[in-house]
Chains A and B, each alone.
Chain A
Amino acid sequence: MNEDFARRVAGHVPVLRLGDVLLVTLQGDLHDSTAHQLQQDISETIVRSGVSGVVIDISGVEIVDSFLGRVLAEIAAQTELLAARTVLAGMRPAVAVTLVELGLTLPGLRTALTTEAALELLAQPVVSSRSGGRREESP
């Protein structure tokens, strides 16, 4: 219990539960350790609460480097293993351009323009494709 509390203070990212979905809002400049902590917190919370989706709102994040990119990709992969879907919401254009230039396109990650759009996406029934609900070709 004490340990848990200490970790929560070190990692400043709150994980909110909204019904069947966890809402995580990242803001400003993240420490590496905070990002690692978040990764752990999300997994633990999913196991504890049994939610089916995670929305990570990064509209307040000014840069994503390869480290944070990797953490986000790992969070998505982990939640997938725990039978939940992760949607990354609100990435800024400058961040997106930079990530692509960096060579990080995060192919397995679901994305949405806003948190609302992410919640909508999660509300849809699971599609067969693993990556991105809207990817498949229509006739």
Chain B
Amino acid sequence: MPEHESAGALESPTHAVRDFLRRRREQIAQRWADEPLFRTVFTVSRDEAVEAGKLLVDALAQVADAERVEDPDAAGFTEVREQLARMGAARTRAGLSTTQVSAELAALTRPVENLLVADLEQEPSERLRACATTLSVLMGTLRLVAMQTALTEVQALIDRQRLQLLEVATPVIKLWDGIVAVPLIGTLDSARSQVVMETLLNAVVDQHARFAILDITGVPTVDSLVAQHLMKTVAAARLMGAECVVSGIRPAIAQTIVHLGLDLGTVKTRASLADALGYCLHELGANIVNAAPDGPGRR
């Protein structure tokens, strides 16, 4: 009889697995330390890999203790998520595909299973099978958690880079006292137009701009979604007390807008950035007495 059996009553397979994990913590960690996933990530020393392995075993035991072997959101996993993320990220950086990382994670199961089988040799085969099944479910959940974590990290990285790119791609230029412009280049999707809108509106406040010009010369196509974003920006600027002019509407785009039946009725448009600037200066000039004798840039 295995030494952990107590009081005659059989424990649930889940708790048997928990006890096994606690009992064999050291050995499991030692064996994992030799697996590529640990060996290549924890390069400082083998002890480091063993320690990381122990942490993982502890997490698994905790999850088994809570009888939540099938639940990736079990509390026990929370503490190892960061470590799993680090391992996944390191392997991805090393050039492994997601499938390969997943295979490496799967490879962690075999050594543990071997230990379990050796441990429960004396038990009835049914019991052994039940425990082995529980263990493989638990390891499967761990794999899921690891992949989830890795994907989230990758996504976060992509999001960060995208935002960075958006900010870089959205310069605000002060054209004149009270006139700012944002030249847009490239496709306008929801996230981008959000950044454009916020950047432009903040510039309006910072620069006390009564006029804001959105130049879309570099925007390849205007569909209904883009038109909607433009109108939202114009509407928000108006609420703040500024007027937004959309410039750079090329003939092809004008044609598309008409074809699609888009209503840009509330939006002031001009063919070129120069035209838009002319309009704004004229408006400013008309409002500032004696600003310029002949109305600058009037078209």
Q: Which of A82-139 contact B (CB under 8 A)?
A: 88-93, 95-97, 99-101, 105-107, 109, 111-114, 117-118, 124, 132, 134, 138
Knowing A93-B240, A117-B241, the reply to whether A105 touches B210 (Cβ < 8 A) is no
Chain B, interface residues (CB within 8 Å), range: 20 to 34
Q: Is the CB of A100 within 8 A of B235?
A: yes
Knowing A93-B205, A113-B208, A113-B210, the reply to whether A100 touches B236 (Cβ < 8 A) is yes
Q: Is the CB of B198 within 8 A of A93?
A: yes
| Shortest CB distance B270–A (Å) | 11
Q: Is the CB of B241 within 8 A of A100?
A: no
The CA-CA distance from A94 to B237 in the complex, in Å, is 11
The CA-CA distance from A100 to B244 in the complex, in Å, is 14
Q: Is the CB of A93 within 8 A of B235?
A: no
Residues on A with C-beta less than 8 A from B202 are 93
Q: Is the CB of A105 within 8 A of B239?
A: yes
Q: Is the CB of B236 within 8 A of A96?
A: yes
Q: Which of B222-263 contact A (CB under 8 A)?
A: 232, 235-243
* Interchain residue pairs with CB less than 8 A apart (19): A88-B239, A90-B240, A90-B241, A91-B239, A92-B205, A93-B201, A93-B205, A96-B201, A96-B240, A99-B239, A106-B239, A111-B240, A113-B205, A113-B208, A113-B209, A114-B208, A132-B238, A134-B243, A138-B286
Q: List A residues at the B interface (Cβ < 8 Å).
A: 88-93, 95-97, 99-101, 105-107, 109, 111-114, 117-118, 124, 132, 134, 138
